[in-house]
């Protein structure tokens, strides 16, 4: 699992590459727990190369969800593979998080 952060003016794009499971969740958590992440207006998560997400992986996003909402930072997922989207959907997260098909829509969101 590789997490690459690409900051721009008011947007931080996180590129996830690989399987997000209990061991790699720590890497992502460290990234999301950084205090200055709340200075961005939007955090975009590029899931194009995210091949699998476990409940521990979902847990990382869930644990930061409230914090992002409180700081008025928008969390947007895009380019999600169907298999991964299914996992979000079953848990009901699609109603709670912004998941869009493409980068363009993510920018616009």
Partner 1 sequence: MLLLSALSHSGAGPWLGTWPEWTTQLAQGVFVLGVFLYYRYQRSPLHGQAFIRLLRRLLTGPGLLALACMGLHLLERLMKDQPVFDSNGLFFTSIYTLNLGLFVVFLARTNYAWRALVLFRSSPRLQREWTVFEVLLGATLLFRLVGVNPPNYVGIPLVVLLGLYGIYLSGHQKWVAYLSQREKWRAVLLQSGLLFSVLVFVQYFRVTQVDPQLIAPQPQHAFLLLTAFFSAFYALMGLLVTFFNLPIADVIEQRRSEILRLQRLTQIIQRGQTTAEVYHILLESAVQTVKADAAWLDLDPGHSGVTAAAATQYFNLEPEQADALRARLQGHDLPEGEFITNDLHARIGFEGTTQHYRSLLQLPLRGLHFNYGMLYLLKVEPNTFDREDLSILQTFTSQAVLSIENLELVRTSLENQRTQEELKIASQVQDSLIPKNLPTDNWFDISSHSLAAKEVGGDFYDFLHLPGRRLAVIIGDVSGKGVTAAFHMAQMKGIFHSLMQENPLAKNERDKFPVPSRFMAQANAALTHCLEKSSFITSSLYIIDYEQGGFVFARAGHCHTLYYHALREEVFYFESQGLGLGIIRNESYEKHIKNQFYDYSPGDVMVIYTDGIVEARGGDGTAEYGEDRLKLRLEESYYQEADEIKDFILKDLNAFTHGHPIHDDQTLLVIKFKSAQPPPLA
Binding stretches for partner 1 (CB under 8 A): 22, 25, 29, 51-52, 55-56, 58-60, 62-63, 65-66, 83, 90-93, 95-96
8 vs 63, beta carbon nearer partner 1: 63
Name the minimum Å distance from CB 32 to partner 1. Answer: 11
**5 token code pair:** 């952060």
Determine the Cα–Cα distance for residues 8 and 56; give it in Å rounded to an integer: 28
Q: Which of 19, 7, 81, 70 is closest to 44 using CA atoms?
A: 7
Nearest-approach distance from CB 9 to partner 1, in angstroms: 30
Name the token pair of 91: 């848990």
Nearer to partner 1, 11 or 51 (CB): 51
Cα(96)–Cα(108) distance, integer angstroms: 18
Q: Minimum CB separation from partner 1 for residue 33, in Å?
A: 11
């Amino acid at each position: 699992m590789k997490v690459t952060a690409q900051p721009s003016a008011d947007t931080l794009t996180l590129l996830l590459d690989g399987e997000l499971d209990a061991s790699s969740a720590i890497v992502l958590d460290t990234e999301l727990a950084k205090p200055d992440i709340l200075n961005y207006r939007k955090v975009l998560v590029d899931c194009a190369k995210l091949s699998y997400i476990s409940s521990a992986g979902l847990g990382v996003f869930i644990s930061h969800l409230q914090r992002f909402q409180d700081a008025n930072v928008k969390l947007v997922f895009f380019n999600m593979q169907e298999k991964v989207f299914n996992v979000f959907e079953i848990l009901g997260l699609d109603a709670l998080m912004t998941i869009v098909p493409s980068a363009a829509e993510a920018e616009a969101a």
